[in-house]
Amino acid sequence: MALDHSTSIIIIGAGTWGCSTALHLARRGYKNVTVFDPFPVPSPISAGNDVNKIITARSSSFADDSDDEAYVARKLLEASMEGWLHDPVFKSHYHETGFIAAASSPANIAKLQQQAQGDKMSKFKYLDTPEDFRKTMPEGVLTGDFPNWHGWHKKTGAGWVHARDALISAAAEAKRLGVTFIPGSPEGHVTSLLYEQGDIKGAKTADGKEHRADRTILCAGASAVELLDFKDQLRPTAWTLAHIKMTPEEAALYKNLPVLFNVERGFFMEPDADNHELKMCDEHPGYCNWVNSPADGKRKSLPFARNQIPVEAEQRCRNFLRETMPQLADRPFSFARICWCADTPNRSFLIDRHPEYPSLVLGVGGSGHGFSCIPAIGGFIVDAMEGTLDPKMAKSYRWRPETAVNRDWNDTQGRSGATNEVMDFQKVTQWTAIGSESKL
Ligand code: FAD
């Protein structure tokens, strides 16, 4: 069926990419769009429901501009930055405070240096001594010894975004333009796709209702693997984050800081203005949750929600603080959670019409870097639905099961930290005392 503005469209998932897609559909004039999610925006299990996310060019992507992947990365970055700088829905949530990338081992230091040299677009200041690092922030913030740290500081074109507020803003504008959101469980919780006559004709929700649509767009993040056989193209992988409560005086001192990111230790951004909580992540190649899927008995990494992190992750967070801000290293956490994303084998997104089900569109595979493009990503998902996606993007983001045959599930995919291995939640025995074993 040809598309027109009355085409009925279902989006499964009101997270980062689902809200962006809803907004772009509404802006293009589609009048019959419904978004399903087990939770109101911001969903507590959305990877985008977070106080902040980093925004910076993946500098290695620009090493050779004639290369197709570099073209795709540049096009995505330019469209996203256009949104962060000029779109009233997003621009107040972007903070261009700069970005410090660092590493501690010789191999990663060399890798970072190579990336910086390949990035002809940016200006860097190299940081070679503990004093160089300490001087990047006001006195009293970075008091650590920075053992073996080397890195660079990029002052412009990078920083952080208030993720949760940007997500809420995208959903609110989509709603204002006429998109219907069906939040909550059971009515918003999609349990299966509707398979009919060799196609997908909508979705079934946990209240037993069948919702028919001309197009179905699957944007369920890491949970998408529970609704479709992705032929091993998605690996749900989780990371760990924790918050520390700051005093109002500390929050004032920590305002407008550059993001500090050590690719082996972790990263932090300034405390959020409302609650004065400083968020940090310990860096590692991620955790999977290997279980036999109740749906088909196959061994899969399946996401689950938990407002706690493994004790080993807490220790890594505290070691990161000891090296950078020892004055905070023993302060109790005020919040912690695991946060899921879906990795493709090469960490490029998966945005395509399904080859077997013509009415199903996929917007998945955020691969750990899918938030910074929230202003633009929905536009590319709608392009895929309309068949107008830029050919190089379509090639990069295509349905590509051939790349996942005999997939190495332990591939760190270029990430470092902890033991430099992908870890398994099934082997974790101790969780932090903060928070609870959430039944979200
Ligand atoms: P999500 O935002 O997770 O949305 C999925 C939605 O689907 C949720 O709202 C969920 O409730 C809903 N859903 C689930 N199951 C169902 C169902 N059965 N029916 C209906 N709805 C359902 N990216 C960056 O660009 N910069 C960063 O600094 C950065 N940092 C990150 C740090 C961490 C710890 C993590 C985990 C990720 C980070 N990312 C970052 C990646 C980024 O957050 C994700 O790539 C992006 O949010 C993915 O968006 P999504 O829409 O695919 O998934």
What's residue 60's pLDDT? 45
Question: Is ligand 1 within 6 A of the CB of residue 39?
Answer: yes
Question: Is ligand 1 within 6 A of the CB of residue 219?
Answer: yes
Question: Is ligand 1 within 6 A of the CB of residue 190?
Answer: yes
CA–CA distances in Å: residue 395 to residues 350, 389, 391: 10, 9, 6
The whole-angstrom separation of Cα 344 and Cα 347 is 5
What's residue 98's pLDDT? 96
- Which DSSP letter does residue 404 get? G
What's residue 438's pLDDT? 46
What's residue 115's pLDDT? 84
The whole-angstrom separation of Cα 323 and Cα 329 is 9
What's residue 160's pLDDT? 97
Q: Is residue 306 a part of any domain in this protein?
A: yes
Q: Is residue 431 a part of any domain in this protein?
A: no
What's residue 440's pLDDT? 40
| Count of beta carbons in the 10 Å neighbourhood of residue 235 | 25
Task: Give the up-direction half-sphere exposure of residue 106: CA atoms within 13 A in the CB hemisphere.
Answer: 0
How many distinct structural domains can be found in the chain? 1
Strand partners, 151: 102, 127
Q: Is residue 106 a part of any domain in this protein?
A: yes
CA 69, 261, 120, 370 torsion-angle sign: positive
CATH number of the domain bearing residue 277? 3.50.50.60
Look up residue 391 and give its two tokens: 């050919």
CB-count burial class (<10 Å; 0-12, 13-18, 19+) for 101: buried
| Nearest ligand 1 atom, CA 17 | 51
Between vectors from CA 424 to CA 420 and to CA 430, what angle results, nearest 5°? 100
Pocket test for ligand 1, best of 369, 397, 425 (most atoms within 8 A of CB): 369
Give residue 146 CA to ligand 1 midpoint distance, Å.
Answer: 32
Strand partners, 102: 151, 262
The whole-angstrom separation of Cα 344 and Cα 79 is 22
Look up residue 218 and give its two tokens: 């699957």
Q: Which protein residue's CA is at the shortest distance from atom 22 of ligand 1? A: 13
- Reported ipTM: the value is 0.99
Q: Is residue 280 a part of any domain in this protein?
A: yes
Taking 50 as the pLDDT cut, the residues of the chain under it are 59-64, 437-440
Helix, strand, coil tally for the chain in percent (to 5): 30, 25, 45
Strand partners, 212: 202
What's residue 1's pLDDT? 76
What's residue 293's pLDDT? 82
Contact 367, 239 (CB under 8 A): no
CB-count burial class (<10 Å; 0-12, 13-18, 19+) for 249: exposed
pTM: 0.96
Look up residue 347 and give its two tokens: 């960490």
Q: Is residue 419 a part of any domain in this protein?
A: yes
Look up residue 383 and give its two tokens: 């392009």
3-state secondary structure at position 174: helix
Q: What is the per-residue pLDDT across 283-331, written as a single tens digit (0 to 9) for each?
A: 999 999 999 987 778 889 999 999 999 999 999 999 999 999 999 999 9
CA–CA distances in Å: residue 291 to residues 5, 301, 424: 43, 6, 10
Q: Is residue 375 a part of any domain in this protein?
A: yes
Q: Is residue 24 a part of any domain in this protein?
A: yes
The whole-angstrom separation of Cα 427 and Cα 418 is 15
What's residue 72's pLDDT? 95
Q: Is residue 3 a part of any domain in this protein?
A: no
Tell the residue number behind the tokens 């910074």, with chain if given.
Answer: 372
Question: Is ligand 1 within 6 A of the CB of residue 281?
Answer: yes
| Nearest ligand 1 atom, CA 167 | 2
Q: Which domain holds residue 117?
A: 8-425
Contact 103, 151 (CB under 8 A): yes
Q: What is the per-residue pLDDT across 95-133, written as a single tens digit (0 to 9) for each?
A: 999 999 999 999 999 999 888 887 777 788 999 999 999
Give residue 339 CA to ligand 1 midpoint distance, Å.
Answer: 8
- Which DSSP letter does residue 327 get? G
Q: List, in order, residues 6 or more apart from 376 with CB less than 8 Å away.
A: 20, 76, 79, 80, 82, 83
Question: Is ligand 1 within 6 A of the CB of residue 221?
Answer: yes
